[in-house]
Amino acid sequence: MAEEAKAKGTWGGARPNSGGARPGAGRKKLECDAVTKSVQFRLTEEQAVIVKQFVKLLKAGEITLDDIKKKE
């Protein structure tokens, strides 16, 4: 039997007869704004607590970035 040649980059390379990915299988795409991006910082424990409180206030709408810019 001759196997069908699969296109490069298709799912199921380890199992050529698997039939491909199931609908709905796998991770969901992250839905985020174009402005949102992931960033990593190395912080001390004290700094991490302050940043978490700040982000919590931003998400709750208690402060805005405009408020911070005005103070500068």
What predicted TM-score, i.e. pTM, was given to this entire model? Answer: 0.44
What would the pLDDT profile of 15-64 be if each residue is shown by its tens digit? Answer: 556 666 667 777 777 676 656 677 888 999 999 999 999 989 998 999 88
Q: What is the pLDDT of residue 39?
A: 81
Predicted pLDDT at 57: 92
Judge whether 34 lies within some domain.
no
Q: Quick one: DSSP state of residue 8?
A: T
Tell me whether residue 31 is in a domain: no
The tokens for 9 are 């980059």
CA separation for the pair 36, 67 (Å, rounded): 20
Compute φ and ψ for 47, nearest 5 degrees: -65, -40
Total structural domains within the chain: 1
What is the domain range of residue 52? 41-72
